[in-house]
Amino acid sequence: MVSYPSTPSSAYAPTEPWVEYPESDGKPMAESDRHRDALILALQTITPHFEKFPDVYVSGNLMMYYVEGDPRYYISPDVFVTFGVERKDRRFYKFWEEGKPPDFVLELSGEQTFRHDLHGQKALYALLGVPEYFLYDVDMQYLPSPLMGFRLVSGAYVPIAARADGSVPSATLGLDLHVRDKGLWFYDPGAQMWLPTPVEAAQQRGIAQGIAKGIVESIKRGIAQGIERGIERGLAQGETRAKQMALLKLLQSRFDPIPQALTHQIASIQSLALLDALFEQVLAAQTLEDINWQNHNEG
């Protein structure tokens, strides 16, 4: 099980008189449609990854107050994750009640915000003690790099070095952040798989249901035939991405762990016919070496 580092929390004892804390600052949710869509997709991708942990809170675009008794002092991160607090619905986030700042913050930078994100906002998050601060340039034209990460060391942010493939690792989340296909993706290096988007998650559930039905039928027709039929049913509504994910699942169930390079190779195959052929080989193979990957390289 992954151990997620976090800043310590403390119990809250009320000391302030009644003060109204607004739930909104009246500003738009995002700078553009693309920023809004990227924000929602990031939240919908990260949230299910931590849903089995009752003390991990994932949210975004939420009013966050950091000075007790003075609602003028607030921030509203696009995406944030806090470890060690109760996962529940909140109208806003008060540092003194939660006992700690978020452990991870992601801001989606654009033409109107990138300077503030790189300087004033960054300095404020460091002052507040946020362990990791990430920036993603949705338009890929304003930040020095489309994806930037910083880790708090002795009260100051230190840049997180990108990996050879351009990804930036988050030690706090235990995930690697990637910019690919003109979007932000999250990779779990421990499980050696990409976090699925909501559409992909629905496709995977369909695959699982299809396989379950196929296994029942396998009592009569054999396990291999049942798995093939289950996969076929599960993939009926899927396209290339669904078949890629299904192939990775099958490989992991038979030959776990599989090399990360092989994961990337499968993600590059766009031909449904080639993916189908690989399914057949994987089902019959005893080892990874039995599969002829050379005949399935596109381009």
**How does the average pLDDT of the chain come out, rounded?**
84
Contacts of 201 (CB under 8 A, 6+ apart): 48
Q: Which of 137, 169, 194 is a domain's end point?
A: 194
Q: Are residues 206 and 290 in the same domain?
A: yes
Q: Are residues 190 and 203 in the same domain?
A: no
* Cβ(146)–Cβ(179) below 8 Å: yes
DSSP string, 24-48: --SS-SSSSHHHHHHHHHHHHHHHH
Q: In the predicted model, what is the mean pLDDT of residues 127-137?
A: 97
DSSP symbol at 140: S
Q: Which of 172, 194, 216 is a domain's end point?
A: 194
Q: Are residues 40 and 150 in the same domain?
A: yes
> pLDDT tens-digit profile of 146-186?
999 999 999 999 999 999 999 999 999 999 999 988 899 99
**Quick count: other Cβ atoms within 10 Å of Cβ 39?**
23
Range of the domain at 220: 198-296
Q: Are residues 169 and 74 in the same domain?
A: yes
Separation between Cα atoms, residue 244 and residue 50, nearest integer Å: 23
Contacts of 171 (CB under 8 A, 6+ apart): 5, 132, 151
Q: Are residues 234 and 267 in the same domain?
A: yes
Model confidence at 134: pLDDT above 70 = yes
Q: Are residues 254 and 180 in the same domain?
A: no
Model-wide pTM > 0.85: no
Separation between Cα atoms, residue 31 and residue 11, nearest integer Å: 36
Q: Count structural domains, the chain.
A: 2
Q: Please name every residue paired with 64 in a beta bridge, in sequence order, or none if there are none.
A: 75, 93
**Quick count: other Cβ atoms within 10 Å of Cβ 248?**
18
Q: Are residues 187 and 42 in the same domain?
A: yes
Q: Are residues 42 and 161 in the same domain?
A: yes
Q: Are residues 145 and 92 in the same domain?
A: yes
Q: Are residues 38 and 179 in the same domain?
A: yes
> pLDDT tens-digit profile of 101-111?
999 999 999 99
Which tokens in the block code for residue 261? 């390079």
Which run of H or of E encompasses 54? none
Which tokens in the block code for residue 274? 């080639």
57 φ, ψ to 5°?
Answer: -110, 120
Q: Decide if 145 is inside a domain.
A: yes
Q: Are residues 169 and 275 in the same domain?
A: no
Strands (E), 232-299: none
